[in-house]
Structure 1
Amino acid sequence: MQKRMVMAGALALALALVSGTAAADPARVMIPANPGGGWDGAARHTLAAFARSKVFTDGASFTNKGGAAGTIGLAEFVRTAKGDDNALMVTGVIMVGGAISNKTPVSLADTTPLLRLTNEYNAIAVPAASPIRTVQDFMQALQTDPGALPVGGGSAGSVDHVMLALLAKHAGAPVSKINFVSFSGSEILAALGGGKLRAAISGVSEFRRFADSGRIRIIAVSGPTRVEGLNAPTLRESGIPVEMGNWRGFVGAPGMSAAARKLWLDRFAALHGSAVWQETLKTQGWEDAYLPGDAFAAFLKSEEARWSDALRDVGILK
């Protein structure tokens, strides 16, 4: 009997060691942006869904560190989270472009890739009282005098910036003359609603509630189809061949153990299959873009090459 008890104790200890500290500690989540923006929402809604679905109930702490297309937060995450099996960072295409355009000494290659989780298309929004009523009006203003059309978006080199550059190219306006104004987090909404910007480009979910309340108007979306419940055409149906998506996902800390990586991937797989997550996707207006593990790591490498080419093509990267 005593021998069986010793063996049972050893087995329990072994299981605990395989799970690592991640089995008992809250997640420590780096959000490389100011509160209120797309990355902030992606991180907080995902961890809330973990709790509601009972997949991961140990809680989470969040650190917001915005600036430079998320690369300031990335640098701090790489510096401070090494070997932490419970440290996560939300990331996305904006960070890929930002690391390239800012030529940062750190990149996503310094983290432990986990998965791509969602995709969201952009929207073009204008102040409620703007004389710009349609996307054709916007394109005309861009063609006439791009410098007189301040358009807000994320950091330089972001998907918002590239989208504006592509729109300028289609309008026949010089990309070097566009007036792109960088914002972080929810500051762009205050600037747009207050009339400091003539237009802004960002994720549909960031603009939608302000459009629903009448503070701003969405005049176009960048996806292949219209967004359900939103009275705004796609760029393509308006005759503009531009389609831009903004994927988001999670990485782990540099040096995350193989056991912890598997544990987090198993947790995300369980979350992805839950009814709670399907409802989260619907309420947030996100597309399911689930791509875990090694496939995501390969995708990141291909994204770096694709965005290097895109940034050079529109003249952002020399």
Structure 2
Amino acid sequence: MRRRQVLALGAGLVPLVAGCGSGRGPRERALASSTVSVIVPGPQGCGADRVARSLRGLAERASLVRGVQVVNRPGPTALAEFAETRTGARRLLMAELGTVGMVRPDRQAAAFAGTTPLARLCGEWELIAVPAASAFGSFGAFADAMRRDPAAVAVAGRAEGGVDHVMFGMLAQSLGVDPRLPHYVACRSGDDAAGAAAGGLAAAVVGSPAGLGERLRAGELRVLAVSAPDRVPGLDAPTLLECDTHLYCADWRALLGPGDLPDDDRDALVGMCRSVTETASWREHCRRNGWAPLYLDGDDFGRWLGVESARLSKAFGDLGLRA
């Protein structure tokens, strides 16, 4: 099989973790006495919200900041509010993969232009699963069916234009299939999507380990492949790379500052992110929530974010989606 490369995380897969040191400079001390607002483009309880609230609890507990106010807004509203942010407001944005889809199509490739990238905190890998009794015994069998007659393959996932849909579109493209041909069954939640597959309404389901976990544990579904670059501990499934499909895709969450953020303030906020993500408590939060620790900051994160935005813009266009 000819390997097709569709890379979603790029060179930023390797976490960059740097020590912060015990001393605090003037900006760090100023941050420790300040309250920071984090705008979340989604409702309370969504993935980005859980990451923001975990960051808040750990940063406050370590006295890295006096307080973090998590502000939930509908996606487009959140982006509009953040675009109006000015230095001194200490208002940040918790961005994620789906945030790119909330931007006008002609601006998606540079979705985060005018912001200050701070840090990519974590992400969730995607699973491709089928009902336990499915005739697809391997990812290869599923891929062959997609190539033969993509319109006959129904795949369930969460909302149209969300991470599951985008992941499936990139997967189809990596197999040489027009992403608009397979039938995508959009569901309200990962569990609903898993139920659609288990109930015979879809041949397969794309979703996060957390969303599919209950039905996987019950034996209703089995995993064909995972979108991580390496095997996921505790999950008996090959990576897409092992299946000759070079696709990495995570539902990442990252913290951004306003575009006119002074360098010293940026460094202090990056230091806060580093300090939080280096703790055992953060690692426990990641383990409990099924998050992969994909920490990245500095110029490397800024470059990665630009490449990722362009890739996602192309994926949305290939699916025929519009903001």
Question: Shared fold (TM-score greater than 0.5)?
Answer: yes
Aligned partner of 1:179 in structure 2 is: 183
Aligned partner of 1:6 in structure 2 is: none
Aligned partner of 1:192 in structure 2 is: 194
Aligned partner of 1:264 in structure 2 is: 269
Aligned partner of 1:7 in structure 2 is: none
Shift of residue 201 of structure 1? 2.2
- Number of residue pairs matched by the alignment: 294
Greater gyration radius: 1
2:232 alignment partner, SS class: coil
Shift of residue 125 of structure 1? 3.4
1:237 alignment partner, SS class: coil
2:113 alignment partner, SS class: helix
CA deviation string 1:68-94 (max 9, x = no partner): xx5553223324x43454322211333
Whole-angstrom distance in 2 between the partners of 1:284 and 1:311: 27
CA deviation string 1:149-208 (max 9, x = no partner): 04324552x55334323433455543231223556xx72323433556554323334433
Whole-angstrom distance in 1 between the partners of 2:169 and 2:293: 27
Whole-angstrom distance in 1 between the partners of 2:250 and 2:118: 20
Q: Which of residues 236, 240, 257 is equivalent to 1:235?
A: 240
1:50 aligned partner, one-letter code: A
Distance 1:275 1:168, change over 3 A: closer
2:69 aligned partner, one-letter code: S
1:230 alignment partner, SS class: coil
Equivalent positions of 1:207-222 (< 5 A) are 207-209=212-214, 211-212=216-217, 216-222=221-227
1:74 aligned partner, one-letter code: L
Distance 1:315 1:29, change over 3 A: closer
Shift of residue 115 of structure 1? 1.2
Q: Which of residues 67, 71, 74 is equivalent to 2:79?
A: 74
2:295 alignment partner, SS class: strand
Q: Which deviates more, 171-180 or 123-132?
A: 123-132
What is the root-mean-square deviation in Å for CA atoms of aligned residues? 3.8
- Structure 2: stretches of 5+ with no match in the other structure: 1-24
Instruction: Identify the structure with the greater helix proportion.
Output: 1
Q: Which deviates more, 216-225 or 203-212?
A: 203-212
Distance 1:47 1:208, change over 3 A: farther
Equivalent positions of 1:12-161 (< 5 A) are 20=30, 22-52=31-61, 54-56=62-64, 58-66=66-74, 70-79=75-84, 81-96=85-100, 98-99=102-103, 101=105, 103=107, 107-126=111-130, 134-136=138-140, 138-139=142-143, 141-142=145-146, 143-146=148-151, 149-156=154-161, 159-161=163-165
Shift of residue 311 of structure 1? 5.4
1:176 alignment partner, SS class: coil
CA deviation string 1:40-82 (max 9, x = no partner): 3322233333345x1436343323334xxx5553223324x43
1:61 aligned partner, one-letter code: Q
1:99 aligned partner, one-letter code: V
TM-score (norm 2): 0.71
